[in-house]
Amino acid sequence: MRRLTIHDLDDCVRLAKDRNWPPEEHKWRLLFDIGEPYGIDAPDGDGLAACNVLTCYGDGHAVISMVLTASRYSRQGLGRALMRHVLDQAGDRTVFLHSTGQGRPLYEQLGFRAVGRVAKHTGVFAGEPSGLTRPATEADLDAILALDAEVFGMDRSAALRRMFTFGERVRVAAGGFGQCWRNDDNTVIGPVVAGDEETARALIGDLALDAGGEVRMDFDLAHESVIRWAGEHGIGEPWEVALMVRGDDLPGDRSRQFLPFMQALG
């Protein structure tokens, strides 16, 4: 059990493919930069047997992502052992993650509880520019960081400061911002933070039009009317996961959290 380095990236991608996950190399590189990847070397000497990533948001919060165990080592307790290890590294922080139905029993045994639902939606967006948003510049970054900290109640600045290099586009509007970033064969829209639904729709639609082709949106299912609107514009095929928390309740204003940064980053 050890802290991984960028030299382990190829083995992480191989592990993802082994479990029929997309390779997501662009996302992995970001996580190696801002997070703490951990892994267990495969006893047979062939890559990794298990891995996950802990990303800390200041001293109070952390998210665990990319939880994977090689298919040939499944049900041998490696994933559980690695989860316990990263929870020890998280210390007293409130920890959250997104879980499939398959992983949920393990997380509940480790003290997590479900507090919401998120669903991945994909499609080709059909619509017109809103006229309510504009491309962001580096000069907008301080205002974006302040708004994000207010809405999420935690320090996500390490990830957000990379929006202009990691992402494809960043847009701002009155009381809101959003970005999109390329991930394998589609473009992910998120985060999108907005003070009202009209602004959220404008940011989402304009980012999707900027991206062109297939886009992915990970909606908080509490935003039912925005999801219906997205469906009317070609975005569907939902795949649902649970938002789970260990420790205190998550802070912030979820009514303004229309899309997360990505499921892997909360």
**pLDDT at res. 264:** 56
Token pair listed for 211: 């991206």
Mean pLDDT for the chain? 95
Within this chain, domains 2-92 and 120-242 share the same CATH topology: yes
What is the number of other CB atoms lying within 10 angstroms of the CB of residue 214?
A: 15
Q: Above 70 in pLDDT, residue 39? A: yes
Mean pLDDT score, 150-159: 94
| Residue 217: strand pairing partners | 121, 189
CA geometry: angle 209, 200, 120, nearest 5 deg: 70
CA 106 remoteness from chain centre: 20
Q: Above 80 in pLDDT, residue 228? A: yes
Token pair listed for 199: 């602004």
Q: What number does CATH give the domain 2-92?
A: 3.40.630.30
Q: Above 90 in pLDDT, residue 5? A: yes
Per-residue confidence band for 114, with pLDDT thresholds at 50, 70 and 90: very high
**pLDDT at res. 74:** 94
Q: Above 90 in pLDDT, residue 98? A: yes
Query: What's the pLDDT tens digit per position in 59-82?
Result: 999 999 999 999 999 999 999 999
**pLDDT at res. 259:** 93
Question: Which residue has better confidence, 119 or 263?
Answer: 119
**pLDDT at res. 72:** 97
β 113-124/235-246 pair status:
antiparallel
**pLDDT at res. 263:** 56
Domain ranges of the chain: 2-92, 120-242
**pLDDT at res. 265:** 57
Per-residue confidence band for 260, with pLDDT thresholds at 50, 70 and 90: confident
Query: What's the pLDDT tens digit per position in 158-183?
Result: 999 999 999 999 999 999 999 999 98
Q: What span, in angstroms and rounded, lies between the C-alpha atoms of 127 and 132?
A: 14
CATH class of 120-242: alpha beta
Query: What's the pLDDT tens digit per position in 191-217?
Result: 999 999 999 999 999 999 999 999 999
Per-residue confidence band for 222, with pLDDT thresholds at 50, 70 and 90: very high
**pLDDT at res. 185:** 87
Distances in Å between the Cα of 195 and the Cα atoms of 130, 167, 174, 176, 255 are 16, 22, 8, 6, 8
Q: Above 80 in pLDDT, residue 30? A: yes
